[in-house]
Structure 1
C-alpha cells in the first residue's frame, strides 16, 4: 500500500507536483534536511497547553489522581537513593541488590507511561500501579537494610566488609533476616504514622542526604505525646527539639495508626551522598536533661505558655503573625493570610485561599458539550469560595511556628515557618471532595500578591528551564480563547513564578500540578479533582476520586535587588532539595546503651570526599555493568539566573570520588549513556538557527562550513581493568577536571578496579 502511495504521488510530478516520496529513516531524513541547507526559526515556547477543540484543553491531567503523582515523586527519590547505595555498597556479593534495583527502575519506567503519571488510567489500573510501586519500595528497602548495615559496621571507607556478607543477615535457627539495625522506611509519615517511633523506648533515626552537597533539614517524627524525649547525635551532643500536636483532621485519616504528636528537631551538616544518625530515647515527663518544648495551641508570646486550652485569635484584630529572622507573615481578623514582611522591614500584600471550579457537564457529542474529566479541565463558571473565614490555632516555639487553619470540614491547612528556613511551607489537606449536590469540583489554592506581572508568568519545563508564559497569548499564532481559564493552565512539575521589576513570588510543589496566573499578582495551583462525568477521550469512566489528599507547597518571596544568591538561584536550590529531600530510616535500638551504640558503629558517612557546590547536581550515580558506573553531573542554573552561581564550575573527579572508587578510567558519553560522545559528534549535523520573529517560516541559510572538533569532549583511559591495583601515575590531575556550563548535563561511564578497598 505504501509503495503504491509513493508511486502515485511521484507520478503527479508530471503535472507540476513538487513532492517526491521515498522510503526513509530518521537519519536519511536528517541528511536530506541538512543537504537542503534549511535553517529553522528560533522557538522559545513549547506546544503546551494542547487543545483538540475550542472547548477541550488537555490541562486537567496535570493534576488528575494527585496521590499517584506524589507516589511517583517519592518513588523517584527512593530510586535515586537506592542507585547511590547500590553503587557504594562495600560488598557486592549479594546479587539481589542489582535485581531489586532493576525491578524498581522498571516499575518507575512503567509509571512514566502517558496514562500512568497523568492520572488518566482506569481506577483498577491505578491501583495496580500502586501495588507495583509498593512492592518495588519493599524490595529496595531490603537492599537499603543490607547496605546501611554494612556501612554502619565499618569505621572508614577502606575497611573491608566482613566475610560471608550475605549469610551474616540470616538467623541460623529460623533462616529469617537478622539485621543489626532495621533501617525501616515509614511510608505513612504524611499521616503522622510510624510504628517504631511511636512505640519504642529507644529508636534511631538515620537521615540520608542524596544530594552532592551538605544540607540541613528539620526532621519530624511521629511520637507518643504522653512521654518526653531526648535526642542525641553521634558526638554525645543533645539536640534541642519541639513537640507539636498533629491536626485532628490528619489523625482522623487513620485513627488507629496516626500519632497525636510529632517530635521536631534540626539535623545539621548532613553529609553529601551520605547519612547521619540520631539516638532518641523516650522518658517519663520531667525526667529530661535537655529542654523539652511542648507548645499548646494558643496565641502565644515567645517562650510563653499561658494556657493549656486551645484558643482562637480575636476576630477583630491582625495581631496573629509567625516568622523568623528572614521574614514574617501576618493573618487578618478572619484568619486568612494577608501580608508578608521582609527582613528589611518592608511589608507586602500576600494572601492565600482555597477555591473550587465546578466541572462542566455534557454529552461530549459536540464541542460545546464537552465534560470536564480525567484529561480535560473545563470549568462551567468562575471559581467558588470555600469559606469566608477560617478557624485558626497558632503554635509558636523555638524551632518552628505554625498556624493551623480549618476552612471547612474537608479543607484544612498548616502554614509553618521553621527557624532557619527562608521560605514558607503550606501543608494542605483536601478531601474527600463532597459531591452530594451531584456536581464535580476541581480545587485550587490561590496566592495573591501586589506584584504587577503584566500578564506574564513562568513555569518550569520538566524541572529544568523556566518558560515564559503570557496570559491569553501564544507566540506563533493569534489566539482566540473560548476557555479562558483552562486555556491558560500549564503543567507545573516543580515551580511557578511571577515578578515585576522589584520583587518575585514563586511557589514550588511536591508533585506535578496544573497552574496559572489568571490575574496580575496571582498564582494558582490545582490540588485535587473529583468529577462525575467522563470526557470521552478514552478512560471511559469518571474521575470520581474519593480519597483525601495531603500535600505541600513552598513559597519564596523576595526582592530583585541583585543580591547573591538571586531569587532565581534560591528557587533552584530549594527545588533540588525538595525533589530529593532527606530520607528517614527508623531502627529499634531498645537493646542498646547509648555509649555502646556510639562507640561500636559508624553513624555518619559520606560517599564522596569533596562536596559539590549547590549549583552542581549529581544527577545520576548507578551501577552500569560489571565494575562500571553511570554518572551524570548537571548545572542546575540558567546562564542569567545569578551573577555568581550561573558561572561554569570546574571540579576534579578524583577529588570527589577517589576515596571511594579505585578509578581505572572515565569516559564521556552521550546523554543516554549508550555511545561515546567523541563518536557521536563525528556524525552530528549542525543547523545554524536564525531568529525569525515568532513565525513558522522556513528560511534558506548560507552554507555552513564543516564543524571543527567539538570542545569539552574528554576520554580518559588508564588501561583495562585488572586484578592488579592501579599503578601510581604521574601528576595528571588536570586530566580529571570536569567543567559544567549553565543548564549542561555531562554523562560519564566510570570503570573501577575489582576491589575498591585495596588502595
Structure 2
C-alpha cells in the first residue's frame, strides 16, 4: 500500500494550489448537497458512521483484513465494500468515513470501476469524510507538531484523490479520552468549520445538558483571538446509537418489522420509541436540530442491515409524524450538514477557553492513567517525531531527488499510526504495542539509510564524492552505541540541530572502558570533556545489548538549522601514576578519570596523570548524605529543591460498580491519598569540570540522578524505574516528586499539546462546581511540554519539562509530582481486556528517562520546551583511517539560517514537489511577551533562491485566500462568570482581537502564537 499511496501524495502536492479534479465544477458535494431542515420542526439528522480504531485490540492489518476475529469481530475492508454498495443503490443514503489510513489502504485495492463509483459518491456528497487525518489522534499525549503533520498527510491524500470534495468540513474526535484546547486552535487554523466531541467529564456533561450548552464556540488561543474560534458540539450518546436502535450485525437490538401480517410487526412501537429518544436528546440543545449517531466500533461490515432499518425508520417516522402532526422531520445527514443547519438557526453560543482534562466517566473513573501508560512507546514517538523533522529538513537542504519521497512518506504514515488514541496513549493490547514499534522501527531504519545517511554524506563530502560514511543511530536512552563502544581508533561525532537558533547541547557518548579522549572540531578547537561511569543498574537493563561501561561528555555549540562534526581520538599524555588505593574497593570511592589516558579498560583501575590537562577535567565520585538538588536565592529568600521517588498502590476491584473500579491502562485510581516514599539506599556525588551529579539509589528498584552542567542554565534528572515488583500482588504507579518551599497557593500551569499554557487550580474546574471523590487522580493533567509552579511572594518558579508525555500535578504546596511508570495487575474494564503489565523476559519492564529542570526567577518561554522536544540528533562514525587533518579538510560545519528574531520557530521544512518546499513558521511568544515578528522569505535561508510563495491553510491542502472562517453569535456573560468563580486566578476570557499587519511582498508578519504555512517554489543557488 505504502509505495502507491506515497507516489500519489507526491503528485498531490502539485495540485494543492490549483485544484485539477475533473468534477470540481459540476460537484455538489458541499453544504449545497445537504437535505434542508424544515422550519418549525424538530429536525433529526441521522448520521451513519463507523468508528475504526487504527489499532487497539488488534493490529492495524488485523483490523483491516478481519484477521483474529476471536479477539474482536472487525474487518475494515468489508465495511468499505459494503457501505459503497449500499450507498450506490439508494441516492438518499449518506455515510461518513474518518480514518484516512484505512480508506487509503482500501482504495488502492479497488478496480477502476469502484474508483469511479466512489468518486461519484464523494462528488455528490453522499460519502463524506470527517476528521480526515491519518488516524483519529489522541489529544492528551500528542505534540502539536505531530498532530499537524498527520493531518497534512491524511488530508493530502484526500485532496489528491477527490479534490475539494474530499476535504472534511468538521473535526470528528468522538473517542479520545479528553480534549486539548490547542487542538481546537489547530483545527481552526486548518479551516475546519466545526468540531464534534464524544467524551467529556460526566459532571460537565450533566451541567451542559441542563443548561443547553452542549454546543459552544471554543476559543483555542487568547493571543490569536477570534481566528482560533471553532464551533464545538458534544454528541449526546458519545458516538453510539440511541439505546435499542443499533441495527448492526454486532448488535442484538430489535429490527424494524413492517409486515402487518407478521405477529412481530413493530413499526408503531419502534417509531414511538425513537421519537421519545429524539425529543429527550433535543432538550439538551439550543436549536431545533438534533444529531443522532447511527454506528459504533467497526459497524457496517454488513451495511445492508443498518441501511435497511434506517430506511424504514425514516420512512415510517416521517409518515407517522405527518399523520399525528408531531412536527418531527427525520432524514439522512452528515455532521457538516447538521452544522450548517445549526449555523442557519443563528444561536447565541457560550465561549469556552479552557480544555476538557481530566476526563472522568464516573466518580471513581478518572482517565488520567493513560497520560503515563506504556512510557516506552511514548518516548519512541517523541524521538521518532524529532528524527522525522530532521529527515525532512535534510532532504531539502541536501537537495535529494524526489524519488525518495516514498521513504519519507512511509515514516509519515508510521507517525500517523502512533498518534492514534489507542497507540501513544498506551491503551492498546501488548501485541499491538509490539506491532506499532515494528512499523515505526522499519520506517525509521529506511529513512536513516535512504535519506539521512545520503544527505549527510553529500553535505560533508560534497555531491561529487563517492565516500559513504555510516552514521550510527545510538541508543542513548540505554547508554548504548555500537560504533563508539567498539571503536579502537578515532571516531567522528556529527550533531544536527533542527532549530532556527544555535544551541548549547550536552553530548554524551557511551564507550567501553575508561578511555582518555580528546574532542576537536573542524577549526581545530578542543573541548572540555568529562568521563563518567555508567551505573550498573543501567548496564543491566534487560533489553540493553552493549559493552559500554562509561560515557564521555562534552558541551558543544551547534549552529542554527545546521550540523557540526567533531573528531574524537585518544589523547597522548606523559608519565602516569597509579593512585595509592586498593582497587578492590567500590568504584564510587575513587576518582574516575576525565581527560587523562588510561592504560587499561578495567573500570575498577583508576589512574591520574601529571601532565597538564588543559581543558580536560577530572570527575571525582564520593558519598554524601545531602538530598538537596539545588538552592536558589530570590527576593532575599532562600529556596531549596529536593527530589524523591515513591509509588501509589493501584486499586484492585471487580469493576462491577463504580466504587470497585480498578486502576488500569486508562484509569488512575490509587489505593492511597499520598505516595509511599521509597528510602534512599545509597547516594553518590560526582564532580567535574563539565558537569556535577548526585546519584540516588532507592528501594523498590528505583534510581535517579540529578545533574547540572557548568555552562547550561537547566538541570537534568535522569530516572530509572523497574522492574516494578508484583510479588506482593499489588500493582504500583511510580512518581517522581520535586519538593520546594515555593508558595503556589494550589495553582500550577501545564501546557496544552506542548504549545500553549493553561492555568490549573487544585480541586477546581473553570466552568462547573466540581465534586471530587478521587483527590489524587482528579487533579492529574497531561504534560507534553511542561508543568510549573510559581512562588506567590517572588518571581521564582519551578518548571519540569519531560522527555515524553507524562501525567503530572501539584497536589501539595510547593511540590510537583510526575508519574513515570506504571505496572498494574488488573484490567479497568474499559475495553482493552488485559492488565497494564509490561514485562521483559518475565520481569517487569525497566524504563529510563530524563526531565529537564528550570529552577530560577528567569521568565519562562516556550523556547525551553522547543529546545527539549527538538534536542540535536547525534550520530557516531568510525574514523579508522581518517586523520585529524583529513577531517578538517571536510565540510565539518554548516548552517543554513542566521538566528531568527527571538520568538520565531521553524516548525516545518520539508520537500513538497519538484522545486517546491513546505514551510511553516511560528511565533511561539504569546501576546504578553512580544510583538509581531517580520521575516523576509526571499533570503531567510542561505543557498535558496525563492521564486514564488503561496500561503496555505495550516494543513497545507487549501489556499488560505480561498477560505472564509465562519463567525458565530456569542454570549458575553461567560467572562464575568469565570472571574467570579476564579478571581485573580484566571484572566478575563474576553480576548482582544488582533489587527493583522499586512505583509509586504515576501516580507511576512507573524503575530503572537501565529503559525503560517507556505508552499515555496525555489531553486538552489
TM superposition score category, shorter chain reference: 0.7 to 0.9
Q: 1:384, CA displacement in angstroms?
A: 4.1
Decide whether aligned partners of structure 1 residues 116 and 667 sit closer, same or farther in structure 2, where only a CA change above 3 A counts. Answer: same
| Match of residue 665, structure 1, among 948, 972, 977 | 948
- DSSP 3-state at the match of 1:64: coil
Verify the 8 A CA contact 1:299 1:395 in the aligned structure 2: no
1:649 aligns with 2:933: yes
What residue number does 1:511 align with?
804
Partners in 2 of 1:106 and 1:304 — Cα distance?
45
Superposition pairs for residues 522-533 of structure 1, below 5 Å?
Answer: 522-533=815-826
Partners in 1 of 2:324 and 2:789 — Cα distance?
56
Partners in 2 of 1:51 and 1:484 — Cα distance?
12
Verify the 8 A CA contact 1:335 1:389 in the aligned structure 2: no
Verify the 8 A CA contact 1:43 1:694 in the aligned structure 2: no
What residue number does 1:719 align with?
none
Superposition pairs for residues 582-621 of structure 1, below 5 Å?
Answer: 582-599=872-889, 601-608=890-897, 610-621=898-909
Q: 1:287, CA displacement in angstroms?
A: 8.3
How many residues are paired up? 658
- DSSP 3-state at the match of 2:569: strand
Q: 1:453, CA displacement in angstroms?
A: 1.8
What residue number does 1:238 align with?
526
Partners in 2 of 1:744 and 1:82 — Cα distance?
25
What residue number does 1:267 align with?
556
Decide whether aligned partners of structure 1 residues 384 and 47 sit closer, same or farther in structure 2, where only a CA change above 3 A counts. Answer: closer
What residue number does 1:120 align with?
427
Partners in 1 of 2:700 and 2:360 — Cα distance?
35
Partners in 1 of 2:686 and 2:804 — Cα distance?
27
Q: 1:332, CA displacement in angstroms?
A: 12
Decide whether aligned partners of structure 1 residues 38 and 479 sit closer, same or farther in structure 2, where only a CA change above 3 A counts. Answer: same
Q: 1:297, CA displacement in angstroms?
A: 4.3
Decide whether aligned partners of structure 1 residues 489 and 344 sit closer, same or farther in structure 2, where only a CA change above 3 A counts. Answer: closer
Partners in 1 of 2:496 and 2:767 — Cα distance?
46
Residue-by-residue CA offset, 1:636-693 (whole Å, 9 max, x unaligned): 12222x3xxx222112112212x33232210111111111111102x64455563424
Q: 1:373, CA displacement in angstroms?
A: 0.5
- DSSP 3-state at the match of 1:508: strand
Verify the 8 A CA contact 1:220 1:263 in the aligned structure 2: yes
1:548 aligns with 2:837: no
Of 211-220 and 524-533, the range deviating more from structure 2: 211-220
Partners in 2 of 1:256 and 1:631 — Cα distance?
40
1:86 aligns with 2:395: yes
Superposition pairs for residues 243-258 of structure 1, below 5 Å?
Answer: 243-253=531-541, 257-258=546-547
Decide whether aligned partners of structure 1 residues 689 and 710 sit closer, same or farther in structure 2, where only a CA change above 3 A counts. Answer: farther
Superposition pairs for residues 191-230 of structure 1, below 5 Å?
Answer: 191-200=478-487, 201-230=489-518
Verify the 8 A CA contact 1:228 1:286 in the aligned structure 2: no
1:577 aligns with 2:896: no
Decide whether aligned partners of structure 1 residues 281 and 10 sit closer, same or farther in structure 2, where only a CA change above 3 A counts. Answer: farther
Verify the 8 A CA contact 1:152 1:602 in the aligned structure 2: yes
Partners in 2 of 1:131 and 1:557 — Cα distance?
39
Structure number with greater CO (CA < 8 Å, separation at least 6) is: 1
Superposition pairs for residues 407-446 of structure 1, below 5 Å?
Answer: 407-408=698-699, 410-446=701-737
| Match of residue 405, structure 2, among 69, 76, 98 | 98
Partners in 1 of 2:977 and 2:331 — Cα distance?
29
Q: 1:500, CA displacement in angstroms?
A: 3.4
Verify the 8 A CA contact 1:297 1:310 in the aligned structure 2: no
What residue number does 2:645 align with?
354
Residue-by-residue CA offset, 1:67-87 (whole Å, 9 max, x unaligned): 110011000000000110112
Partners in 1 of 2:371 and 2:864 — Cα distance?
22
Decide whether aligned partners of structure 1 residues 51 and 10 sit closer, same or farther in structure 2, where only a CA change above 3 A counts. Answer: farther
Verify the 8 A CA contact 1:334 1:389 in the aligned structure 2: no
Residue-by-residue CA offset, 1:714-743 (whole Å, 9 max, x unaligned): 6xxxxxxxxxxxxxxxxxxx4111211111
Partners in 2 of 1:253 and 1:605 — Cα distance?
37
- CA-based RMSD: 3.2
What residue number does 2:813 align with?
520
| Match of residue 676, structure 1, among 928, 939, 959 | 959
Decide whether aligned partners of structure 1 residues 595 and 310 sit closer, same or farther in structure 2, where only a CA change above 3 A counts. Answer: closer
Partners in 2 of 1:333 and 1:192 — Cα distance?
25
| Match of residue 687, structure 2, among 396, 404, 409 | 396
Larger radius of gyration: 2
Residue-by-residue CA offset, 1:37-93 (whole Å, 9 max, x unaligned): 333223221111111111111111110000110011000000000110112223417
Verify the 8 A CA contact 2:802 2:851 in the aligned structure 1: yes
Partners in 1 of 2:805 and 2:559 — Cα distance?
29
Partners in 2 of 1:19 and 1:355 — Cα distance?
59
1:692 aligns with 2:937: no
- DSSP 3-state at the match of 2:940: helix
Partners in 1 of 2:634 and 2:777 — Cα distance?
37
Verify the 8 A CA contact 1:40 1:689 in the aligned structure 2: yes
- DSSP 3-state at the match of 2:358: coil
What residue number does 2:109 align with?
none
Task: Please report the TM-score for the alignment, with normalisation by the length of structure 1.
Answer: 0.81
Residue-by-residue CA offset, 1:504-555 (whole Å, 9 max, x unaligned): 2111100011111112211101000000101111111111122111001111
1:629 aligns with 2:914: no
What residue number does 2:476 align with?
189
Partners in 2 of 1:11 and 1:285 — Cα distance?
98
What residue number does 2:453 align with?
145
Partners in 2 of 1:345 and 1:278 — Cα distance?
44
Partners in 1 of 2:870 and 2:970 — Cα distance?
37
Verify the 8 A CA contact 2:734 2:819 in the aligned structure 1: yes
What residue number does 1:743 align with?
1009
Of 590-599 and 32-41, the range deviating more from structure 2: 32-41
Residue-by-residue CA offset, 1:187-238 (whole Å, 9 max, x unaligned): x112211121122211000000000111111111112334211111000112
- DSSP 3-state at the match of 1:281: strand
Q: Give unmatched runs, 5+ long, in structure 2.
A: 1-308, 577-586, 597-602, 607-621, 839-843, 979-993
What residue number does 1:461 align with?
752
Verify the 8 A CA contact 1:386 1:408 in the aligned structure 2: no
| Match of residue 64, structure 1, among 356, 359, 373 | 373
Q: 1:284, CA displacement in angstroms?
A: 6.4
Residue-by-residue CA offset, 1:424-456 (whole Å, 9 max, x unaligned): 210010001011101000000111222222222
User: More helix by proportion, 1 or 2?
Assistant: 2
Decide whether aligned partners of structure 1 residues 123 and 25 sit closer, same or farther in structure 2, where only a CA change above 3 A counts. Answer: closer
Residue-by-residue CA offset, 1:170-202 (whole Å, 9 max, x unaligned): xxxxxxxxx53212211x112211121122211
What residue number does 1:705 align with?
none
What residue number does 2:416 align with?
109
Task: Please report the TM-score for the alignment, with normalisation by the length of structure 2.
Answer: 0.61
Verify the 8 A CA contact 1:339 1:347 in the aligned structure 2: no
Decide whether aligned partners of structure 1 residues 258 and 118 sit closer, same or farther in structure 2, where only a CA change above 3 A counts. Answer: farther
Partners in 2 of 1:593 and 1:180 — Cα distance?
16
What residue number does 2:36 align with?
none
Superposition pairs for residues 334-345 of structure 1, below 5 Å?
Answer: 334-337=625-628, 340-342=631-633
Verify the 8 A CA contact 1:202 1:590 in the aligned structure 2: yes
Q: 1:409, CA displacement in angstroms?
A: 5.5
Superposition pairs for residues 322-333 of structure 1, below 5 Å?
Answer: none
Q: 1:748, CA displacement in angstroms?
A: 0.7
What residue number does 1:539 align with?
832
Verify the 8 A CA contact 2:512 2:547 in the aligned structure 1: no
Partners in 2 of 1:310 and 1:199 — Cα distance?
20
